[in-house]
Amino acid sequence: MEDLSAFFPDADTFFPRNLPVGLTFDDISLATRYTEILPRDANLSVSLSPSLHLQIPILSSDMDTVTESRMAIRMALNGGLGLIHYNMTDEAQIKEVARVKNHIHGFIREPIKVMANQTIGEVLDRITRKDFGFRTFPVVDEQNRLLGLLSSSTVKERYRERSVLEAMTPRSEVYTLPVSAIKDHPIEVADKFFSEHIGIHKLLIVDDQERLCGLFTLSDIERIEDEATRIVKPARDERFRLVCGAAIGSHRKADGSLDADRIINHVGRLVEEGVDAIAVSTAHGFSKGVGDTVKLIRGQFQDLTIVAGNVTSADGVEFLAKAGANCIKIGQGPGSICTTRVVAGVGIPQMTALYVASRQAAKEGVTILADGGITKSGDMVKALTLADGLICGGLLAGCDEAPGRIMEINGKLYKQYRGMGSREAMKDGSAARYGHDKKDAVAKAAPEGIEALKEAAGPLDVVLRELIGGIQSGMGYLGAADLKTLKVNARYIRVSPAGQKEAAPHDVITVKTTPNNSSE
């Protein structure tokens, strides 16, 4: 009798069998397998390096209309990782990373402060102007020395003409701890303090000269305790800070040589802020400049997680792994706003590229990330049968937390989204990513990306919840309790154009859809 299992082969049979055709997500479908698990029980955690562990295998892309600190914070709170883009000054990027690393629930390292000589009216105007969601402020002098605490109960219109000095609780009545007391275990110390002091909701931290160093809030400490009951927990480092990554370029001097001093100094400062991963991001990672940059960073920072890319071949993976990368980005040209394949005529369809890269990565002992072309959770499931994680740009660009500018067109809200190879993005600093100089971005460089709009998608939490649910559904169909088993259980079949049409909603008038199941 014919072996019917041959109809649905594993990856090592399926992809070589389809040579020389390159396949992408819609070209294939996965065969269901026997299962004993419920989708909600599927474990999505992954380790991208010995020191970087995530609760979900999703990273937000290092694009200037996708990831800055606000996106990175929400990504980490949902168990993933945000890669801060580098289309900004080095100093600005360091501050973005610091905002994420210092966003420990309960501890605010740089609280908003007021001065004693201000009026309550000035404080109220600032709250309105900045849209603050709180009304309690530490009061400091010109040297940042703590003078007292302005409580929300006194920040009212009826006291508009009164001074902060009159309204504040004086220093002698404000609860504080020295910064040395929270050095090793800040959350545990604060939790113990609030348990011992009934009715106190704020704890200020000062140094030995009474200068304000930070602020704990009871509400955020209690949120941390609630994390223990969550199915998907935030991604945190060993010091309980949110994880965060940052992208850098292979910066060069005027003579074309690698600017080693700038790279090492910048990465060093990012490491001081606690960055968990550095991504050396270029369109062509299989290049001397990227290899030299990875070697340079690895030589100075032995334990730092280094992500490098992008490549689409086994040779490219081997090259970056031997240079010192822990995790390698796979994808050239599959992104919705990327035109590399049109402009330069290069690139491999994503599933074929992931297969080749995954086999070499296993030999090298490194992990890989599927970067680009993912438009729905079904694509994520397919990618994760070969990759260790996913980088998402377009799927997240419409979220509230993305930094893109909001526009209203015919009553609908959209957010700006552009490829890092678009002319405007290269003018703003990403030209080096595509092997060009910033000053030549307008006159000489051929853009490899476009500027576009994404329909506003709402909060990241909601979008990720739907995507994670889709991944877990796929794992349930394949009988995979975790991502490692998903790779083992995956069986593939190639889909005809008619099969692709059959897979999507058809022969109906669509009334309502979501970004995850839209045919657009």
* Residue 113 CB neighbours (<10 A): 16
Among residues 327, 338, 392, 399, the one annotated as catalytic is 338
Whose CA is closest to 310, among 446, 397, 419, 401? Answer: 419
Instruction: Report the DSSP pairing between strands 367-371 and 327-330.
Output: parallel
3-class DSSP assignment, residue 27: helix
Active site residue 433: yes
Whose CA is closest to 266, among 243, 248, 253, 279? Answer: 248
Tokens 């999507």 found at: 504
**CA 404, CA 417: separation in Å to the nearest integer?**
6
Q: Going residue by residue through the chain (520 aa), what tens digit of pLDDT does each one get?
A: 467 778 999 999 999 999 999 999 999 999 999 999 999 999 999 999 999 999 999 999 999 999 999 999 999 999 999 999 999 999 999 999 998 997 766 678 788 999 999 999 999 999 888 767 789 999 999 999 999 999 999 999 999 999 999 999 999 999 999 999 987 788 889 989 999 999 898 999 999 999 999 998 888 888 777 776 677 789 999 887 899 999 999 989 988 899 999 999 999 999 999 999 999 999 999 999 999 999 999 999 999 999 999 999 999 999 999 999 999 999 998 887 888 888 888 999 999 999 999 999 999 999 999 999 999 999 999 999 999 999 999 999 999 999 978 888 888 888 888 765 556 655 655 455 445 555 554 554 566 656 778 888 899 999 999 999 999 999 999 999 999 999 999 999 999 988 888 887 777 777 666 666 655 4
Q: What confidence score (pLDDT) does residue 443 get?
A: 52
Backbone phi, psi, residue 220, to 5°: -75, -35
- The separation between the first and the last C-alpha atoms of the chain, rounded to the nearest angstrom, is 44
Q: What confidence score (pLDDT) does residue 94 get?
A: 95
Read off the pLDDT of residues 146-160 as tens digits, 9 standing for 90 and up: 999 999 999 999 999
* Residue 435 CB neighbours (<10 A): 14
**CA 511, CA 336: separation in Å to the nearest integer?**
25
Whole-structure pTM value: 0.78
Instruction: Report the DSSP pairing between strands 58-60 and 389-392.
Output: parallel
Q: Are 242 and 235 in contact (CB under 8 A)?
A: yes
* Residue 307 CB neighbours (<10 A): 30
Read off the pLDDT of residues 6-63 as tens digits, 9 standing for 90 and up: 899 999 999 999 999 999 999 999 999 999 999 999 999 999 999 999 999 999 999 9
3-class DSSP assignment, residue 195: helix
Q: What confidence score (pLDDT) does residue 224 get?
A: 74
**CA 123, CA 155: separation in Å to the nearest integer?**
8
**CA 213, CA 192: separation in Å to the nearest integer?**
19
Backbone phi, psi, residue 233, to 5°: -95, 160
Q: What confidence score (pLDDT) does residue 449 get?
A: 59
Among residues 70, 241, 433, 491, the one annotated as catalytic is 433
Tokens 């065969």 found at: 31
Q: What confidence score (pLDDT) does residue 211 get?
A: 95
Q: Are 123 and 134 in contact (CB under 8 A)?
A: no
Q: Are 449 and 419 in contact (CB under 8 A)?
A: yes
- Sign, Cα dihedral of 175, 179, 180, 183: positive
* Residue 177 CB neighbours (<10 A): 18
**CA 27, CA 398: separation in Å to the nearest integer?**
26
Q: What confidence score (pLDDT) does residue 241 get?
A: 87
Read off the pLDDT of residues 334-378 as tens digits, 9 standing for 90 and up: 887 888 888 888 999 999 999 999 999 999 999 999 999 999 999
3-class DSSP assignment, residue 431: helix
* Residue 390 CB neighbours (<10 A): 24
Active site residue 158: no
Binding-site residues for NAD(+)? 331-333
Tokens 């993305």 found at: 402
What is the set of domains in the chain, with CATH numbers?
4-103+241-403+460-503 (3.20.20.70), 114-229 (3.10.580.10)
Exposure letters 265-297 (e unless 16+ CB within 10 A, then b): ebbebbbebbbbbbbbbbbbbbbebbbbbbebb
Q: What confidence score (pLDDT) does residue 292 get?
A: 96
Q: What distances in angstroms separate CA 212 from CA 177, 207, 219, 235, 273, one per listed residue? A: 10, 7, 20, 28, 19
Spell out the residues 6+ positions from residue 233 whose beta carbon is closer than 8 angstroms to its own. Answer: 55, 79, 227
Binding-site residues for K(+)? 333, 335, 338
Q: What confidence score (pLDDT) does residue 104 get?
A: 62
Q: Are 84 and 96 in contact (CB under 8 A)?
A: yes
Instruction: Report the DSSP pairing between strands 451-455 and 406-409.
Output: unpaired
Binding-site residues? 331-333, 335, 338
Q: What confidence score (pLDDT) does residue 425 get?
A: 55
Q: Burial of 114 by CB count in 10 Å (0-12 exposed, 13-18 middle, 19+ buried)?
A: buried
Tokens 């090298």 found at: 364
* Residue 224 CB neighbours (<10 A): 17
